[in-house]
Structure 1
Amino acid sequence: MLYINLFLQYASQYIKTKLEYRGDFIVGLLSDLSLQAVNLIFILVVFGHTQALKGWSREEVIFIYGFFLVPFAIFSAFFLTFVLPFAFVGVYPAAYFLRKTEWNSYAFATPIVGVICFTIAITLWNQGVKRYRGAGN
Structure 2
Amino acid sequence: MFYVSMFFQYIGQYMKTRLQYRTDLVIEVISDLLFQAVNLVFIIVVFGHTQLLGGWSRDEIVFIYGFFLVPFALFATFFNIWDFNERYIVKGEMDRILTRPIHSLFQIILERMELESLFGVVTGLIIMSYAGSNLGLSMQWYTPLVFIVMVFGGMFVYAGIFIIIASIGFWSDARTSIMPMMYNIGNYGRYPVDIYNPVIRYILTWILPFAFVGVYPAAYFLGRTEWYSYAFLTPFVGIGFFSLAVFIWNQGVKRYRGAGN
- How much does 1:65 deviate? 0.7
- How much does 1:32 deviate? 1.5
Supply the AA of the counterpart residue of 2:33. Answer: L
Structure-2 residue corresponding to 1:31? 31
Structure-2 residue corresponding to 1:66? 66
Moved more, 79-88 or 119-128: 79-88
More helix by share: 1
Q: 1:28 to 1:99 in 2, by over 3 A?
A: same
Structure-2 residue corresponding to 1:93? 217
- How much does 1:105 deviate? 1.8
Supply the AA of the counterpart residue of 2:232. Answer: F
Q: 1:60 to 1:11 in 2, by over 3 A?
A: farther
Measure the CA separation in 1 of the matches of 2:239 and 2:22.
40
Supply the AA of the counterpart residue of 1:127. Answer: Q
Moved more, 92-101 or 33-42: 33-42
Supply the AA of the counterpart residue of 2:47. Answer: F
For residues 34-62 of structure 1, what are the alpha-carbon distances to aligned partners after superposition, in whole Å with 9 as ceiling and x for unaligned?
A: 21222222222222232221121121111
Aligned: 1:112 with 2:218: no
For residues 81-119 of structure 1, what are the alpha-carbon distances to aligned partners after superposition, in whole Å with 9 as ceiling and x for unaligned?
A: 498521011110001111112222211222222232123
Structure-2 residue corresponding to 1:21? 21
Q: Percent identity?
A: 66
- How much does 1:25 deviate? 1.8
Measure the CA separation in 2 of the matches of 1:126 and 1:30.
37
Structure-2 residue corresponding to 1:44? 44
RMSD value, Cα: 3.0
* Aligned residue-pair number: 130
- How much does 1:67 deviate? 0.9
Measure the CA separation in 1 of the matches of 2:245 and 2:29.
33
Measure the CA separation in 2 of the matches of 1:114 and 1:34.
29
Unaligned segments of structure 1, at least 5 residues: none
TM-score after normalising by structure 1: 0.73
Q: 1:27 to 1:49 in 2, by over 3 A?
A: same
Structure with more relative contact order (C-alpha pairs < 8 Å, separation 6 or more): 2
Measure the CA separation in 2 of the matches of 1:28 and 1:17.
15
* SS of match in other structure, 2:213: helix
Structure-2 residue corresponding to 1:55? 55
Q: 1:122 to 1:11 in 2, by over 3 A?
A: closer
- How much does 1:122 deviate? 2.8
Note if contact 1:84-1:117 (Cα within 8 Å) is conserved in structure 2: no
